[in-house]
Amino acid sequence: MTSTATRRHARPRSDHPDLAPGFRTGPLGRLGIWVTDHAKLVTGVWLLLIIGLGAFAPQVEHNLSGAGWQADGSESVAARELAREHFGGNASSAIQVVGIVLGVAVLLDATLVRLVLLPVLLRLTGKAAWYTPAGLKRVLPHITFAHD
Protein backbone atom coordinates (compact mmCIF):
# COMPACT_ATOMS: atom_id res chain seq x y z
CA MET A 1 0.00 0.00 0.00
CA THR A 2 2.95 2.36 0.37
CA SER A 3 3.97 4.23 -2.69
CA THR A 4 7.55 4.70 -3.78
CA ALA A 5 7.38 8.39 -2.85
CA THR A 6 6.36 7.50 0.70
CA ARG A 7 9.10 4.89 1.01
CA ARG A 8 11.66 7.31 -0.40
CA HIS A 9 10.95 9.95 2.28
CA ALA A 10 10.19 7.67 5.21
CA ARG A 11 13.05 7.16 7.58
CA PRO A 12 13.67 3.62 8.85
CA ARG A 13 12.77 3.05 12.50
CA SER A 14 16.36 2.91 13.69
CA ASP A 15 17.87 5.52 11.34
CA HIS A 16 17.41 8.61 13.50
CA PRO A 17 20.66 10.58 13.92
CA ASP A 18 20.27 10.85 17.71
CA LEU A 19 19.85 7.11 18.29
CA ALA A 20 22.48 4.43 18.56
CA PRO A 21 22.80 2.13 15.53
CA GLY A 22 20.47 -0.82 15.78
CA PHE A 23 18.29 0.81 18.46
CA ARG A 24 14.58 0.33 17.78
CA THR A 25 12.16 2.85 19.24
CA GLY A 26 8.72 1.99 20.53
CA PRO A 27 5.48 3.72 19.51
CA LEU A 28 5.86 6.60 21.97
CA GLY A 29 9.48 7.08 20.95
CA ARG A 30 8.48 7.26 17.28
CA LEU A 31 5.74 9.75 18.18
CA GLY A 32 8.26 11.88 20.08
CA ILE A 33 10.68 11.81 17.16
CA TRP A 34 7.90 12.79 14.75
CA VAL A 35 6.79 15.65 17.02
CA THR A 36 10.32 17.02 17.32
CA ASP A 37 10.88 16.71 13.57
CA HIS A 38 7.62 18.62 12.88
CA ALA A 39 7.72 21.15 15.74
CA LYS A 40 6.23 24.06 13.75
CA LEU A 41 3.28 21.98 12.55
CA VAL A 42 2.59 20.62 16.04
CA THR A 43 2.82 24.10 17.59
CA GLY A 44 0.42 25.50 14.98
CA VAL A 45 -2.10 22.72 15.57
CA TRP A 46 -1.96 23.23 19.34
CA LEU A 47 -2.44 27.00 18.95
CA LEU A 48 -5.43 26.51 16.64
CA LEU A 49 -6.92 24.00 19.08
CA ILE A 50 -6.49 26.34 22.05
CA ILE A 51 -7.90 29.34 20.19
CA GLY A 52 -10.81 27.30 18.84
CA LEU A 53 -11.72 25.86 22.22
CA GLY A 54 -11.28 29.26 23.87
CA ALA A 55 -13.74 30.80 21.41
CA PHE A 56 -16.42 28.25 22.29
CA ALA A 57 -15.81 28.16 26.06
CA PRO A 58 -18.14 31.06 27.03
CA GLN A 59 -20.98 29.60 24.95
CA VAL A 60 -20.57 26.15 26.51
CA GLU A 61 -20.39 27.62 30.02
CA HIS A 62 -23.54 29.65 29.39
CA ASN A 63 -25.45 26.66 28.00
CA LEU A 64 -24.45 24.29 30.80
CA SER A 65 -24.81 26.67 33.76
CA GLY A 66 -28.57 27.08 33.47
CA ALA A 67 -29.54 23.76 31.94
CA GLY A 68 -29.78 21.71 35.12
CA TRP A 69 -26.21 20.41 34.86
CA GLN A 70 -25.48 20.97 38.51
CA ALA A 71 -25.59 18.80 41.58
CA ASP A 72 -27.34 20.86 44.23
CA GLY A 73 -25.43 20.73 47.50
CA SER A 74 -22.12 19.87 45.85
CA GLU A 75 -18.89 21.66 46.71
CA SER A 76 -18.63 23.26 43.27
CA VAL A 77 -22.12 24.79 43.57
CA ALA A 78 -21.27 26.03 47.08
CA ALA A 79 -18.03 27.56 45.78
CA ARG A 80 -19.90 29.29 42.95
CA GLU A 81 -22.46 30.68 45.39
CA LEU A 82 -19.71 31.97 47.69
CA ALA A 83 -18.02 33.66 44.74
CA ARG A 84 -21.34 35.17 43.67
CA GLU A 85 -21.89 36.58 47.18
CA HIS A 86 -18.42 38.04 47.56
CA PHE A 87 -17.82 39.27 44.01
CA GLY A 88 -21.22 40.82 43.32
CA GLY A 89 -22.60 38.55 40.61
CA ASN A 90 -19.30 38.19 38.75
CA ALA A 91 -18.78 34.64 40.02
CA SER A 92 -17.70 33.17 36.70
CA SER A 93 -15.23 36.02 36.17
CA ALA A 94 -13.77 35.52 39.64
CA ILE A 95 -13.40 31.79 39.07
CA GLN A 96 -11.73 32.47 35.71
CA VAL A 97 -9.26 34.82 37.39
CA VAL A 98 -8.42 32.17 39.98
CA GLY A 99 -7.97 29.62 37.18
CA ILE A 100 -5.69 31.95 35.23
CA VAL A 101 -3.62 32.72 38.33
CA LEU A 102 -3.24 29.00 39.07
CA GLY A 103 -2.27 28.35 35.45
CA VAL A 104 0.39 31.07 35.56
CA ALA A 105 1.68 29.65 38.85
CA VAL A 106 2.04 26.18 37.31
CA LEU A 107 3.74 27.67 34.24
CA LEU A 108 6.20 29.62 36.40
CA ASP A 109 6.88 26.54 38.49
CA ALA A 110 7.53 24.44 35.41
CA THR A 111 9.77 26.98 33.70
CA LEU A 112 11.57 28.98 36.38
CA VAL A 113 11.84 26.48 39.19
CA ARG A 114 12.30 23.18 37.36
CA LEU A 115 14.12 24.35 34.24
CA VAL A 116 16.22 27.22 35.63
CA LEU A 117 16.60 27.31 39.42
CA LEU A 118 16.90 23.59 40.13
CA PRO A 119 19.66 22.90 37.57
CA VAL A 120 21.56 26.01 38.74
CA LEU A 121 21.33 24.94 42.39
CA LEU A 122 22.44 21.40 41.51
CA ARG A 123 25.42 22.82 39.60
CA LEU A 124 26.35 25.17 42.46
CA THR A 125 26.08 22.60 45.23
CA GLY A 126 27.81 19.82 43.28
CA LYS A 127 28.06 16.51 45.14
CA ALA A 128 26.58 18.08 48.28
CA ALA A 129 23.18 18.08 46.55
CA TRP A 130 23.28 14.28 46.59
CA TYR A 131 24.30 13.91 50.26
CA THR A 132 22.32 11.25 52.10
CA PRO A 133 22.42 10.99 55.92
CA ALA A 134 23.91 7.77 57.29
CA GLY A 135 20.63 6.58 58.84
CA LEU A 136 18.79 7.00 55.57
CA LYS A 137 21.57 5.19 53.66
CA ARG A 138 20.97 2.09 55.78
CA VAL A 139 17.25 2.09 54.94
CA LEU A 140 17.38 2.90 51.23
CA PRO A 141 18.42 0.30 48.66
CA HIS A 142 21.86 0.73 47.09
CA ILE A 143 21.47 1.49 43.36
CA THR A 144 24.43 1.88 41.04
CA PHE A 145 24.68 2.93 37.42
CA ALA A 146 27.16 1.80 34.79
CA HIS A 147 28.99 5.14 34.73
CA ASP A 148 29.70 5.14 38.51
For the stretch 49-73, pLDDT in tens is 888 888 887 777 666 666 666 677 7
70: left (phi over 0), alpha (psi -120 to 50) or beta: beta
Q: Write out pLDDT tens, residues 5-23.
A: 444 455 554 556 666 677 7
Angle at 143 between CA 137 and CA 135, to 5 degrees: 5
pLDDT of 1 over the 60 cut: no
Task: Provide, rounded to the nearest whole percent, the portion of the chain with pLDDT above 90.
Answer: 9
| CB-based contacts of 31, cutoff 8 Å, min separation 6 | none
Rounded distance, CA 39 to CA 102, Å? 27
What is the domain partition of the chain in residue ranges? Answer: 4-139
d(CA 56, CA 81): 24
What's the whole-model pTM score? 0.37
